Amino acid sequence: MQYLTNIFFIIALIAGIGFFVMNIKKLSRNIKLGKDVNRTDRKSERLKNMMMIALGQSKMVKRPFSGFLHIIVYVGFIIINIEVLEIIIDGIFGTHRIFLGVLGDAFYGFLIGTFEILAALVFVAVVIFWLRRNVSNIKRFLSKEMKGWPKNDGNYILYFEMVLMTLFLVMNATDPTFQQAGIGNPISQFITPLFDGFSADTIHAIERTAWWIHILGILVFLNYLYYSKHLHILLAFPNTYFANLNPKGQFNNLESVTNEVKLMMDPDADPYAMPEEGAEETVPEKFGASDVTDLNWVQLLNAYTCTECGRCTSSCPANLTGKKLSPRKIMMDTRDRLEEVGRNIDTNNGVFVDDNKQLLNDYISPEELWACTSCNACVEECPVNIDPLSIIMDMRRYLVMEQSAAPQELNMMMTNVENNGAPWQYNQQDRLNWANEE
Amino acid sequence: MNVPTMADMMAQGKQPEVLFWVGAAGSYDDRAKKISRAFVKILHQANVDFAVLGTEETSTGDAAKRAGNEFLFQMQAMMNIEVLNGYEIKKIVTCDPHSFNTLKNEYPSLGGKYEVYHHTQFIQNLISEGRLNIDNTSLKGKRVTFHDPCYLGRANEVYESPRDLIRRLGVNLTEMKRHKETALCCGAGGAQMFKDAEPGNKEVNVLRTEDALKTNPNIIATGCPYCNTMMTDGIKFKEKEAEVVVKDIAELIAEANNL
Ligand code: SF4
Ligand code: SF4
């Protein structure tokens, strides 16, 4: 009988972790649907970014209030999880507070005491976060794209954290020997009196229940990540590591275009030349992006990493002036479409079957894409170094180069550049007139 | 005014110290032409041996690239690179952050490798080399706010050069709430300059002008011909032309030095 709980624990643990690993595999397969881009250079700079931005939260604190609260939750959550190690060992071997004997009263008390204080702080911070999302009028939490699932997702995460923190404290409060020892209970000692008058058996049952729900809750939460914006707690690390290191104004030069332009400009090239042997089969490369598989894997990793915080959108000049464009929505759409493509592959035994849908039009409209001023405010703001602008640009490229679907005024501008070497209709021969006017 | 071209230089067998890339706005736009002339006056005062491409200059292709037309951009770039490399150009200065950005960052992988300066950086160097002085009395006491151009600021992290120059004018530099990394775009970038805005409830340049007006400026300083147009239009929209002027930093320096 006694072993039954241990066995049940082990099964739950394996199932929880197994399911998580399965989801991570799916995640990585989906990200690899993206085109290749080399981000393996400048390793030390990348490592530094990851340490500063993901671990050190250096961009979070640019907005001090929410940044500070976020650090509490982040640090608290990570440190408290050390306690999970003890829970796992206890669960497998049927021990109770195994670390107490190993670490000794003083150190164990210090650790658990710290966890308790952190748990209380996390609880308070999470409540403030909840109020910010649901009660106060913060514009970036009220946008169109935050209706439905994204809004609920944000709240579910907060509820999860509130419940987990509470369970941790209750578990300590209902452990009489732990309370009697009087070590490491700076918060839970104030909860213990709530259970005065309960029988020893009831208190023990409450303690066991809290213990079990706590660990099962953690396993459920771990698996919830894949479906949630909370994935950022893991992906912020690779995402900041692989982020673009070039100046933000530098857009990539499409190599496929370079080859064609060189050919066009080469006076010796023979336009009627037969394609080389074996070259007939190659499908001409698509210029720009109309679907997620045209994007590169870093852009897809970006989409999964997005925390939907909306800092990008709240600094976007187009969005601030009432245009449809929202860089956060660009990222959310990319993730939603990628998930759809992934599910399509899963249900069709590993191959994608055309579903007559794509990222362009079905998710992101040209109107949104054309409203972008390429100002890089979104890129600068993002606390985890996501680059919504690169996706916007790749999709514009598709619109222009594959569909000739630029707004009329831009077509005129481009015709002028082509014919007069300037975006306006001036004569090239008048280019130096400015020097002699006044 | 005396603006030598590379073709003239070549004919005389000379190589100038720097090429002044004028850009389409600086060549054709009436407002921006004044900025080009102001900058040339500064170059003359500092005895800089410079030249322009003149009629051999053509669009960098930047606007086409931001609009999504990579073909047109690369065609323009390769044409320009052929000319620039033909003249063995090493150093370029420009008053247009868009040209600055593309020449500096996007031309190298297409074969055009140059040392590229924004005019505020270039002037700053002239001062530190002792070749130019700025008079700090004639504009003294004026309230000046600086609008960061996206392609100079966030895109290339040049925040200090323009501010350093403004401070040297002896004026009162006041910052808008959104400045440097958090500066708001004027609305012209990404080829928006050449089209109407999408439906919304306000124009971006009006929002940015409101940011600037909150600092009660006498002068809104810019370092980009497109920002200049946008902010000037914003001031007109707000009917503040009588109180506030929009000036490029080169114009302010030329004015201070009585050029
Ligand atoms: S780059 Fe485009 S999407 Fe990003 S903030 Fe600027 S206008 Fe908005
Ligand atoms: S892209 Fe970055 S700034 Fe924008 S919502 Fe996602 S995480 Fe936040």
Q: Would you say the CB of residue A391 lies under 6 angstroms from ligand 1?
A: no
Let me know whether B56 and B123 are in one domain: yes
Which residues, 6 or more positions from A165, have their beta carbon under 8 angstroms from its beta carbon? A80, A119, A120, A122, A123, A126
- Domain-ending residue, one of B79, B97, B128: B128
Q: Is residue A53 part of a domain?
A: no
Q: What is the pLDDT of residues A344-357, one digit of tens each?
A: 999 999 999 999 99
The band of A81, judged by pLDDT with boundaries at 50, 70 and 90, is: confident
CATH number of domain containing B243: 3.40.50
User: From CA A176, how far away is CA B45, in angstroms rounded?
Assistant: 86
Do the Cβ atoms of B154 and A318 come within 8 Å?
no
Rounded to the nearest angstrom, the minimum Cα separation between A403 and chain B is 11
Let me know whether B240 and B187 are in one domain: yes
Please give the residue range of the domain that contains residue A341. Answer: 287-424
Query: Whose Cα sits closest to atom 4 in ligand 1?
Result: A378
Q: Kindly state the tokens that stand for A56.
A: 């050190």
- Domain-ending residue, one of B90, B113, B128: B128
**How far away, in angstroms, is A336 Cα from ligand 1 center?**
20
Report CA B190 to chain centroid distance, whole Å.
Answer: 16
**Residue where the block lists tokens 């601030």:** A320
**Exposure pattern of A86-118 as b/e (b: 16+ CB <10 Å)?**
bbeebbeeeeebebbeeeeeeebbebbbbbbeb
Residue in A253, A372, A379 closest to B106 by CB: A253
Let me know whether B19 and B121 are in one domain: yes
**How far away, in angstroms, is A428 Cα from ligand 2 center?**
44
Let me know whether A329 and A412 are in one domain: yes
Let me know whether B120 and B34 are in one domain: yes
Let me know whether B188 and B120 are in one domain: no
Let me know whether A238 and A342 are in one domain: no
The DSSP bridge pattern shows strands B172-173 and B50-51 to be: unpaired
Let me know whether A75 and A210 are in one domain: yes
Of A112-116, A240-244, A283-287, the one with minimum mean pLDDT is A283-287
Let me know whether B249 and B143 are in one domain: yes
Q: Within a 13 Å sphere around the CA of A58, how many CA atoms are in the beta-carbon half?
A: 10
The band of A365, judged by pLDDT with boundaries at 50, 70 and 90, is: very high
Do the Cβ atoms of A376 and B181 come within 8 Å?
no
Let me know whether A81 and A214 are in one domain: yes
Let me know whether B83 and B171 are in one domain: no
Let me know whether B56 and B145 are in one domain: no
Residue to substitute from A431, A433, A436, interface B, most B β-carbons within 10 A = A431
Confidence at residue A53, expressed as pLDDT on a 0 to 100 scale: 94
Average predicted confidence (pLDDT) for chain A: 92
Q: Can you tell me the mean pLDDT for A227-241? A: 95
Do the Cβ atoms of A250 and B199 come within 8 Å?
no
Q: Would you say the CB of residue A393 lies under 6 angstroms from ligand 1?
A: no
Rounded to the nearest angstrom, the minimum Cα separation between B233 and chain A is 16
User: From CA B28, how far away is CA A432, in angstroms rounded?
Assistant: 9
Residue in B1, B157, B194 closest to A409 by CB: B194
**From start to end of A77-214, where are the E strands?**
none
Which uninterrupted H or E stretch holds B253? helix B249-256
Let me know whether B94 and B170 are in one domain: no
Distance (Å) of CA A182 to CA A165, A166, A207: 20, 19, 17
Q: Can you tell me the mean pLDDT for B45-63? A: 96
Q: Is residue A359 part of a domain?
A: yes
pLDDT at B143 over 70: yes
Let me know whether B124 and B158 are in one domain: no
**Exposure pattern of A365-392 as b/e (b: 16+ CB <10 Å)?**
ebebbbbbbbbbbbbbbbbbbbbbbbbb
Query: Whose Cα sits closest to atom 2 in ligand 2?
Result: A382
Confidence at residue A194, expressed as pLDDT on a 0 to 100 scale: 93
Q: Looking at beta carbons, which residues of chain A come within 8 Å of B151?
A: 249
Sign of CA dihedral B230, B233, B239, B244: positive
The count of structural domains within chain B is: 2
User: From CA B51, how far away is CA A343, in angstroms rounded?
Assistant: 60
Which uninterrupted H or E stretch holds B115? strand B115-118
Let me know whether B94 and B162 are in one domain: no
Please give the residue range of the domain that contains residue B219. Answer: 134-257
User: Of all atoms in ligand 1, which is nearest to the CA of residue B189?
Assistant: 7
The amino acid present at B202, given as its one-letter code, is K
Q: Is residue A172 part of a domain?
A: yes
**Residue where the block lists tokens 């995402």:** A239
Let me know whether A89 and A19 are in one domain: yes
The answer to whether the CB of A20 falls within 8 A of the CB of A222 is yes
Query: Quick check: ipTM above 0.85?
Result: yes
Best residue among B154, B184, B185, B198 to mutate for probing ligand 1's pocket (most ligand atoms within 8 Å of CB) is B185
Let me know whether A227 and A314 are in one domain: no
The count of structural domains within chain A is: 2
Ligand nearest to the CA of A334: 2
Q: What is the pLDDT of residues B74-127, one digit of tens each?
A: 999 999 999 999 999 999 999 999 999 999 999 999 999 999 999 999 999 999
Q: Is residue B239 part of a domain?
A: yes
Query: Whose Cα sits closest to atom 2 in ligand 1?
Result: A372
Q: Looking at beta carbons, which residues of chain B come within 8 Å of A321?
A: 197, 200-204, 206-207
CATH number of domain containing A409: 1.10.1060
- Domain-ending residue, one of B107, B128, B149: B128
Q: Is residue A57 part of a domain?
A: no
Which residues, 6 or more positions from B188, have their beta carbon under 8 angstroms from its beta carbon? A373, B205, B226, B227, B229, B230
Q: Looking at beta carbons, which residues of chain A come within 8 Å of B65?
A: 251
Which uninterrupted H or E stretch holds B173? strand B172-173
User: Of all atoms in ligand 1, which is nearest to the CA of residue A327?
Assistant: 3
pLDDT at A176 over 70: yes
Sign of CA dihedral A49, A53, A58, A63: positive
Q: Is residue B1 part of a domain?
A: no
Q: What is the pLDDT of residues A278-309, one digit of tens each?
A: 555 556 678 999 999 999 999 999 999 999 99
At residue B248, what are phi and psi to the nearest 5 degrees? -75, 150
Q: What is the pLDDT of residues B174-209, one digit of tens each?
A: 999 999 999 999 999 999 999 999 999 999 999 999
3-class SS letters over A109-120:
HHHHHHHHHHHH
Report CA A261 to chain centroid distance, whole Å.
Answer: 37
